[in-house]
Structure 1
Amino acid sequence: MMEYDWLTSDISDVIKVACDKRIKKLDEKDDREKIIPMNVAIKNIQPSKRKFDVKIVTSMHLKDSSIEWKMKLKDEYSLSEEKKEVNYEFELDGNKSRDLGLEIDTPIGGYEGDELDVHLSIKSEDGINSYEKSFKVVLVPVIKIAKCTIGKELDIAIDLSNHAERDREERKARNQNAENEVMAIMSPYEIKGYFFIETMHADRVEVLSKTIRGFKGFVTGDIDISEIEKYLTPKPAVTGLEMGSLIEIVEGPFKGERAKITAIDAAKEEVTVQLIESMVPIPVTVKAEAIRNLDKA
């Protein structure tokens, strides 16, 4: 936050935001799920009435020039790839303050990396006070939590991925820039009844999922990647295995045999087992991912 005796400004140099969001001063009555906070407040520090001039110049870098952003200052303005200049002046009584009221609406159908560049200039007519700020708004994907039937998480996630790819192929016939609405999908085995979807357009993914049996919609709100990072790093294959555990070999020449673990090599992610039904107790070393822990099945 930048503070002067006559102005308070809370605008980041780069605002990374999803589609269909509003960047503005946050009020108590706002739907906070769709609002990105931004505040510029001006104070007339003189005892007499003074006039202030505001100038905003915008330019855009878009993958699809037909996508429309909107900006609101005194009036609402539609933005395009062409540079747009907005000028606005207002008066403030002595020792009075007001919020600038700047709002920016990101588009519903934007692409990842689409960018709005903004240069804001505020000056008092008497030349005593002046402020300039350049910042950019960059569109980024969101991560949503999808609800689904317990025990069918992976199957439903795969179905959604297949639906999204077919949808992309159909749309590509009309628009060469068409992209898969499901950018990434993750279904950690530890989580039951939910999985994660990364997308630019959550509304479109909901439409795609309507015909998928077991898909129950999205949990309200977006989540940050930091909240699911622990699921992105795979656990060692030997995690949860203990000496003496009963296992079943699921790969290799001994597939289907049951055995007990006699040694664990965490560094190599291997286990040594003794086959239960073998006449001679011969130790067999196998990769940890080639066994199934029957004690926890």
Structure 2
Amino acid sequence: MAKNKKVLLVDGMALLFRGFYATAFSGNFMYTKDGIPTNGVYQFLQYFFNAVHRFEPTHVICCWDMGSKTFRTALYPDYKGNRPKPPEALVPQFDLIKEVTQAFNIPNVGRENFEADDCIGSLARQFSSDHEVLILTGDQDMLQLVDAGISVAIMKKGIGNYELFDCDTFYDKKGIHPQQIIDLKGLMGDSSDNYPGVKGIGEKTALKLLREYGTIDNLLANLECLPNGTERKIRENIDMLQLSKKLAAIRCDVTVSCTPDEALWHYEPLLVEEAFAELAFPNLMELVT
């Protein structure tokens, strides 16, 4: 039986940060009557409703980070250690956006010691057996989650620009399979998350190795077949290779609870109007309807 239910899993942090920086450069911040900045929240809603109108979900869940300390920072204290603190004007908007999503009856899901990515991966696996799942994000790491019933919409510059990845199109676009993204990051590292992978191996070499050997495990079993320079780099960095792979892998076994009934996309217009009035967003109701 064909699936007719679509769950939209929203990477809340990705949308909020993107929305903040897309509007903050002008310096023209919006504020509530209490003086709380709202530009990130406003732009989040612009992104969100464009996606809702475009993809027409029947269910919506928003996932959030629950602090900077996770099992990954326990494994590698420098994980994401190169990132600056959030701008002061963004900090109060973390709680504010969750109040807005609650006004729409959207569940806010997060779990201490894990990232939003892990909650999204776990929910995607839970729902994909009898729902079509679409992940809305700007994070390329999420591509490892593409599977039967799970697709990913990567947000591009501007509003309404997406690159869609699913099982049918993934290999043609990337030249590897979704599960190989983890091994790719293990080899080449990730400068934005601040882990190095194998020093001296970049994306081009990593892709070539994975196309030839498939997995890191198979690669390690055939090290003597590699060019001397590549073999030496891997042998010298084998511990960091294995650690980087662990850091790159999105956990899909996190205990997160959200039932289909809780995630059903429905809202009371009056509650939304009240929330928008409180935020001084008089023109946003036209986006909602």
TM-score tier (shorter): under 0.3
Larger radius of gyration: 1
Higher helix content, 1 or 2: 2
Higher relative contact order (CA 8 A, sep 6+): 2
The answer to which structure has the higher strand fraction is: 1
TM-score (norm. length: structure 2):
0.21
